Structures are given as structure tokens and as C-alpha cells.
Structure 1
Amino acid sequence: MIIWAGRPEGHAKPEGNATDLRYLEYAVAALEPIMAICADAARSSSPKVRALARETLSVQTERFDAISALLRDWGRAERTSPPVAETLVGLDGEALDKLFVDRLAAHARASILSSRAELIAGASRSTRHLAEHAIHAGDRQLAALQGLLLVAASAGDLRK
């Protein structure tokens, strides 16, 4: 068990360990850029990309809020992050869609891996619950992306 120094009065003692804290802090940091990319992808010319971007942004926002609330309950300082470095501003058409698909797939895979590690080494029930939900969300995102890629591949074959 780690010592949580500087815990403000009125905050619950964390129920977890150092793995839980690392997982939560990593997740918050990883969610901010993907949320910005999803917000940008909501202006795609593809209805399927727009729908996936909006749905993903909603899921990621809920996850971000839940993680932030848990960190606050544990007395962790509110995260003040630098501006998000990567967005899809200035891109449109296939370039926007491709970068969105690439970034969302990479994020989903990384989220699944870190969530599995949390399930193995984490001690907090709350954090493990969030990790389980992240695995399911990541699997759904990868399945949706696979469907987008199959549609794009079929359309590309028709153009030949």
C-alpha cells in the first residue's frame, strides 16, 4: 500500500495501490487528446465517421469524468494539462478520416493493454471496474473501426 501524502480533509483514503494511481493518471492523460480528435472528427464528410466520433467522444467524456472524480475523492490534485498537441484541424475528407481511424485504433489498443495490466496488478475495486469498462469500450471501438475499414476497402475496390 502506498502512502497518499497531502490528502485534504474530507477525502476518502484511497482503496488501491500505486498501480491504480498510475493507471488513473495515465488514463486521464490519454483521454484528453483522443477526446479532442473525436471532437474534430465529428465534422467528417462521412456519416459513419461522424457517428463513431460522437459516440466515442460521449463514452470518453463519461470515462474522463469518472476517473477525475475518483482521483478527486482520493485527494489527488485536479489535473491541469497543457493544450492538446494533436488535432484534426485543417484536415478534411479522407485525410481527416484516416487520421481519426489511426488515432482511435491506437488509443483503443493502448487502453485495452493498460486496463488489462490494471486488472492484474491493481487493488482498487473502483479502478478495476473502470478498467473493465475501458476494455469493453475499446473492443467496441475496434469493432466499429473494422467495419469502417471494410466499408472503405469495398468502396475503393469499386473505384478501380
Structure 2
Amino acid sequence: MRKYGIVDTTFSRIDMGSIAYKIIKNEDEDCEIVRYTVPGIKDIPVAAKKLIEEGCDGIITLGWVGKTALDKYSYLASSIGIIIVQILTSKHIIDVTVHEDEADDEEKLKEIAIDRTIKHAKNLVKLVKEGKNALTKYAGKGLRQGYRDAGEID
């Protein structure tokens, strides 16, 4: 049985963890999902590592970044930590992050968060179920998460 991990934060302004859970379960009915909620983005790397050590085949991390320079530095530290965990464990960790300065209004931020979470949860399931070539057919298509696809250039 495949096992997925979801790491989310209390700082997020949308419950992206519940969205990811529903999508993963819909895409892979015969799986186990473990959710681990931490305070903020700098706590994400260790939570992801712990879930991998508990047998998760892949992880989706769901973070929210404020508008200040300090917030952005915190995200950079978290992102580097996530990358290190991926390298050390050879497991996919799909980093889904919403930045408060991506949109001026809260409704648009919500749309971005939901779209990004749904699309990346599906990407994680494909990678875990089908392996390294699961996304190859989508290469060069200009696909985006959180926004409309950019499309390919002929």
C-alpha cells in the first residue's frame, strides 16, 4: 500500500491540508495518508523527514509566506531544508507555497492556494504511483499551478 505524507502549517490562511487529503484519496483510493501540522514554514523540513522515516513514499508540503523580507528569508531557509531532505532520502517532496504578495485580494489568494494544492497533489500521486516518467508526457506544455497554464511555444 502506498503511503503519502501531508505537511501543513498553522500559519497558512487556507486549510490546504484538507484539500490535499481529499485529492490524494480520490486519485489513489488504496493508500494511507498521514498529516503532520506544524506552526510555520521553517518547521516543514523536519516534519517531512519524519514522515519519510515513518514510511511515506512521497510528501506534499503546504506553506504560506507573508509579505515581509523576513518572511521571504524564512521561506528560502525552508526551501533549502526541503531540498536537503529530498537529496538525503531520495523521496519526492512537492513544495506547495503561497506567497501573500501573489495577489492583492484574499479571494484571489484563496483561488491560487486551492488550484496549486489540487494540481500538485495530483502530481505527487502520479510520481508515487507511476514513477519517474509519470509526468514526461506533460513536459514542455507550460503547465502552471495556481494560475492558468502558460501553454507551450510552437
Fold-level similarity (TM above 0.5): no
Larger Rg: 1
- TM-score with structure 2 setting the length: 0.30
- TM-score with structure 1 setting the length: 0.29
| Higher RCO (CA 8 Å, separation ≥ 6 residues) | 1
* Structure with greater strand percent: 2
